[in-house]
């Protein structure tokens, strides 16, 4: 049973920042190389899911880790409040059409897990409904894996309560971050303990495992995410296709 309180939001004390930043650069370059082969081969789709509290660094992780990827093989999707049309369908309807075709990496910056997090925290759905949705998510991800050859990589960006406050305050204090400010983020912060409970439950009931990424130091976040993606891509039988016969 995973408990988030058992995981530090900081790097290990003996982590060498200079060394790991150099390793991160190599890993990011390697992701770019592997993405090119993935796109050319068109055998696998890759879905990378980032979830985390407000200001946990989802945008920054996407920008840093995929900076050497070619745009033709990459797509980033962010799921916000559903539209009226989306509300009129099942909760996975809008998600399914954004999953990656073979040869593509799609990034979910927030994802279908929002529907068992914010809606649960605010009691917009009851617990039996939550259970049915989690079962549906597991079935949906199995479908992607086994019917569409999709590799799913899930990262929970683990930020501390104090660090989140610092990050949110910067959005008020620094001119170039004003565009990120959302008063609602402070309101959601008041439900921190309930969010942690719901995240823990989702992580423990998920069939596809999550990587818990410490993010209080952004350089360490980038290293862990890049390392995980390289590990998963290198497990695949990636090779450039030959000339047609």
- CA angle, corner 32, sides to 112 and 46, nearest 5? 30
Residue 184 banded pLDDT, cuts 50, 70, 90: confident
Give per-residue pLDDT as tens, 131-179: 999 999 999 999 999 999 999 999 999 999 999 999 999 999 988 889 9
Output the CA–CA distances (angstroms, integers) from residue 67 to 60, 63, 108, 157, in the order listed.
11, 6, 16, 19
Query: What whole-number percentage of the chain has pLDDT above 90?
Result: 91
Q: What are the strands of the beta sheet with 74-77, ordered from one edge? A: 74-77, 105-109, 45-52, 150-158, 210-214
- CA dist 165 and 80 (Å) reads 22
Output the CA–CA distances (angstroms, integers) from residue 87 to 83, 92, 93, 190, in the order listed.
6, 10, 9, 26
- CA dist 172 and 223 (Å) reads 28
- CA dist 137 and 17 (Å) reads 37
Q: What residue ranges define each of the domains in the chain, with the CATH number in brackets? A: 18-165+192-234 (3.40.50.300)
Cβ atoms of 9 and 159 within 8 Å: the answer is yes
Cβ atoms of 72 and 39 within 8 Å: the answer is yes
Give per-residue pLDDT as tens, 198-223: 999 999 999 999 999 999 999 999 99
Q: How many other C-beta atoms lie within 10 A of the C-beta of residue 238?
A: 17
pLDDT of residue 80 exceeding 90, the answer is no
Q: Which residues lie closer than 8 Å to 177 by C-beta, 6 or more apart?
A: 170, 171
- CA angle, corner 201, sides to 200 and 204, nearest 5? 85
Please tell me the chain's helix, strand, coil percentages from 3-state DSSP, rounded to the nearest 5: 55, 15, 30
- CA dist 85 and 148 (Å) reads 26
| Residue 42, SS3 per DSSP | coil
Long-range contacts of 71-75 (CB under 8 A, 24+ apart): 72/39, 73/35, 73/36, 73/38, 73/39, 73/103, 73/104, 73/105, 74/35, 74/104, 74/105, 74/106, 74/107, 75/100, 75/104, 75/105, 75/106, 75/107
Q: What average pLDDT does range 54-77 have in this prediction?
A: 96
- CA dist 48 and 68 (Å) reads 16
What confidence score (pLDDT) does residue 245 get?
75
Q: Model pTM?
A: 0.95
What confidence score (pLDDT) does residue 33 get?
98
What is residue 7's DSSP assignment? S
């Amino acid at each position: 049973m995973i408990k988030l309180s058992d995981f530090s939001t900081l790097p290990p004390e003996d982590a060498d920042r200079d060394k790991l930043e150099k390793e991160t650069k190599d890993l990011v370059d390697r992701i770019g190389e592997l993405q090119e082969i993935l796109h050319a081969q068109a055998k696998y789709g890759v879905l990378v899911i980032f979830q985390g509290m407000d200001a946990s660094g989802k945008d920054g992780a996407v920008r840093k880790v995929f900076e050497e990827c070619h745009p033709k093989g990459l797509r980033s999707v962010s799921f916000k409040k559903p539209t009226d049309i989306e509300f009129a369908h099942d909760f996975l309807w809008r998600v399914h059409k954004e999953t990656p075709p073979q040869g593509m990496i799609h990034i979910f910056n927030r994802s279908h897990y929002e529907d068992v997090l914010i809606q649960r925290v605010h009691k917009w759905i009851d617990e039996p409904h939550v259970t049915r949705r989690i079962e549906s998510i597991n079935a949906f991800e199995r479908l992607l894996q086994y019917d569409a050859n999709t590799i799913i990589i899930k990262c929970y960006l683990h930020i501390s309560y104090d660090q989140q406050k610092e990050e949110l305050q910067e959005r008020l204090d620094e001119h170039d971050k004003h565009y990120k400010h959302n008063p609602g983020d402070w309101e959601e912060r008041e439900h921190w303990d309930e969010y942690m409970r719901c995240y823990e439950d989702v992580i423990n009931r998920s069939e596809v495992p999550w990587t818990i990424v410490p993010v209080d130091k952004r350089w360490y976040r980038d290293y862990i995410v890049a390392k995980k993606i390289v590990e998963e891509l290198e497990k695949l039988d990636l090779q450039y296709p030959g000339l047609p016969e």
